[in-house]
Structure 1
Amino acid sequence: MENPSNLLLKLSRSLFADTAEQEKFIHAVTNPQPFNPAILWLQPKPTENPFHVENPVSWQPEFVDRLALESKPGKHSLHQAGHYYCLDFSSIFAASTLLTISQPIELILDMCAAPGGKSVFAWKTLNPELLLCNEVIGKRMGMLTSNLRRCQIQASAAANLDSTIFAEKIPQTANLVIVDAPCTGQSLLPKGDKAPGCFHHVTINSNANRQKRILANSAKIVAPQGYLAYMTCTYSSAENEQVSEWLLSKFPEFQPVTVRHLEKYRSHLTEIPCYRMWSPDKLGAGAFTVLFQNTSEGETNQLPADFLYLARFTL
């Protein structure tokens, strides 16, 4: 197997033409550092915030606080009481495309939901009538349902199904489908976590093919004029921009949505308006995000009542 350092160098060259940018990227990936934690408030903020809060960036929603590096929000009693959800700032960045959706949302389906951060963000932002959270990996269901209960996300349901079943059973029902896709997880490395084989082309191609299958099924579930949000926590363009281009070629009724507040983060690797957070920016370890809209006309299908028997209501 090729040396991981050589694979990282190849990846950096595919992402940046400038040598200095390549070096900055490699340094960030190979020299882990802490990133500021963030919390998403689900209850009104207390009069006196128990944490030191960093100055917000321009696109940061008012219900999110980015905290000082030394903060331990997961250990506070307000966390246990469900007053906020802890997540990293890269996740806030990726989910912030949803802030551009202004139409009423009845049904949200989060296809790859565990542990639940993007689901909670979508619920807080869009106030749907029903949030359906799916997780195909059974052992991750516990953390998902626990977080939905702790945060009192109503009305929500959790399911453990393959995306194919949703495409067959509930086509054109969801006003928003979120696909926070399984990926090589390359952005885990700047945080000091492990992602074995994440730069190898076989691993990248395998993940890209899986992402395309999930996205194809997810596209069939989106109602006319509804939205499909795609995001990853990896750097490879084969899992990000190229997957997005593939989706548009297979489902021409979908069009990318320009997200004005993320314009300075727009990817230089495609003509499609999609957005990246890079680890050298020091806001987060990295993220890719793009929002599509189903431009087709027609009626939204109602969610069949018997379908919910396949899901496990959490609340």
Structure 2
Amino acid sequence: MEKPSNLLLKLSRQLFTDTGEQETFIHSLLTPKKFNPCILWTQEKPQTLPFETAPALSWQPHFIDRLSPTEKPGKHPLHEQGYYYCLDFSSVFAASSLLSIKEPVNIIFDMCAAPGGKSIFAWKSLQPQLLLCNEVISKRIGMLISNIKRCQIQPCAVLNRDPEFFGEIIPQTAQVVLVDAPCSGQSLIAKGEKADGCFHPVNINKNANRQKRIIANAAHIVAPQGYLAYTTCTYSPEENEKIGDWFISKFPHFQPQQIPHLTPHQSHLTDLACYRMWPHTGEGAGAFTILFKNTNSEPAKQLPSNFWDENSFRFINRTNAKNPLS
């Protein structure tokens, strides 16, 4: 095992007071392991599953299967045919806060959608009338559209605009808004991938400032009594718990929601209702999730009719669509 950097040592001390847990956390990053791959069924499961599965957790939705670490579902013909989407359990953990939403959902808006896993999870679990997937980075749009088409997610539209654009033109319209925020990506290390500079304070602060801007614009889109889910795949508190603190200080009508099935994963770094997956627990490389509710009670607004004429719009799996809500 390589020697941990000073920045990693500093982060471990920031996250854990117990020296034993600091060492276990560091070890999990410097000696990556294979975690259980997962598949999200978008079509009906075959009667005989083509993979060896791991035991399901008590809260695991019926459309998710955890597989043996040796399975490679992306190479199976059913994947190409769009029967399922491949994702890791950290993503399932983060998106699972949506399972606590019981109200009918007209519109789901995913602000940072590529490659599409959490969008598809939200669509499958909440069955909205319309899924809007935005991705600001143009080179990631192709991957997003490909996954949405392959998995036959509909009705769905893909957009490519800055978050500020939507905060201005479609305020208070979406019952659920997702912000899977761009982050320093520290959990990639636990999977044996590269994330250069992910522990450096400059990189962390840069991401935190960007996250604040995105989630602030996302807040304007959430309909009264709607929800905003904020998730990351990184460990630094500046990008997680401290974003939650900052957000409710700026938008006090948004309140974090208790997620009963995630109670054992409550973050020990704050009193806010937010939840962590750590790489040394063995279930996944790491994730953070918090679900806010807009407690305002005025009526939700409708999407403006000219919204469908924006040239950034691209409908998926729906031909000649003008307004899927009509």
Instruction: Work out whether the TM-score is over 0.5.
Output: yes
Aligned to 1:59: 59
| Cα distance in 1 for residues equivalent to 2:209 and 2:4 | 22
| Cα distance in 1 for residues equivalent to 2:154 and 2:305 | 18
Contact 1:175 1:226 in 2 (8 A): yes
| Cα distance in 2 for residues equivalent to 1:181 and 1:4 | 27
Q: Which letter maps to 2:89?
A: F
Aligned to 1:312: 314
Q: Which letter maps to 1:221?
A: I
| Cα distance in 2 for residues equivalent to 1:308 and 1:136 | 18
SS in 2 for 1:74: helix
Q: Which letter maps to 2:75?
A: K
| Cα distance in 1 for residues equivalent to 2:288 and 2:53 | 25
Is 1:237–2:237 an aligned residue pair? Answer: yes
Aligned to 1:249: 249
| Cα distance in 2 for residues equivalent to 1:305 and 1:312 | 16
Q: Where in structure 2 are there 5+ consecutive unaligned residues?
A: 318-326
Q: CA deviation at 1:200?
A: 0.6
| Cα distance in 2 for residues equivalent to 1:271 and 1:64 | 30
SS in 2 for 1:61: coil
SS in 2 for 1:113: coil
Aligned to 1:136: 136
SS in 1 for 2:211: helix
Contact 2:204 2:236 in 1 (8 A): yes
Q: CA deviation at 1:100?
A: 0.2
Aligned to 2:152: 152
Aligned to 2:199: 199
| Cα distance in 2 for residues equivalent to 1:270 and 1:281 | 20
Contact 1:222 1:228 in 2 (8 A): yes
Contact 1:106 1:129 in 2 (8 A): yes
Identity of aligned residues (%): 63
| Cα distance in 1 for residues equivalent to 2:5 and 2:58 | 36
Q: Which letter maps to 2:219?
A: A
Q: CA deviation at 1:309?
A: 2.6
Q: CA deviation at 1:308?
A: 2.4
SS in 2 for 1:258: coil
Report how many residues are paired: 313
Is 1:10–2:4 an aligned residue pair? Answer: no
| Cα distance in 2 for residues equivalent to 1:301 and 1:203 | 37
Q: CA deviation at 1:57?
A: 1.5
Aligned to 1:111: 111
Aligned to 1:88: 88
| Cα distance in 2 for residues equivalent to 1:304 and 1:290 | 29
Q: Which letter maps to 2:224?
A: P
Is 1:221–2:209 an aligned residue pair? Answer: no
Q: Could you state the TM-score of these two structures normalised by the residue count of structure 1? A: 0.98
| Cα distance in 2 for residues equivalent to 1:188 and 1:307 | 37
Q: Could you state the TM-score of these two structures normalised by the residue count of structure 2? A: 0.95
Aligned to 2:324: none
Contact 1:4 1:199 in 2 (8 A): no
Call closer, same or farther: CA 1:38–1:214 in 2, change over 3 Å: same
Q: Which letter maps to 1:10?
A: K
Q: CA deviation at 1:202?
A: 0.6
Is 1:42–2:42 an aligned residue pair? Answer: yes
Contact 1:29 1:279 in 2 (8 A): yes
| Cα distance in 1 for residues equivalent to 2:134 and 2:305 | 17
Q: Which letter maps to 1:313?
A: F
| Cα distance in 2 for residues equivalent to 1:90 and 1:306 | 38
| Cα distance in 2 for residues equivalent to 1:314 and 1:306 | 19
- Residue by residue over 1:106-161, the C-alpha shift from the partner in whole angstroms, topping out at 9 and shown as x without a partner, is 00000000000000000000000000000000000001001101111010000000
Q: Which letter maps to 2:119?
A: S
- Residue by residue over 1:54-109, the C-alpha shift from the partner in whole angstroms, topping out at 9 and shown as x without a partner, is 00122211110000111111111111111111000000000000000000000000
| Cα distance in 2 for residues equivalent to 1:271 and 1:7 | 26
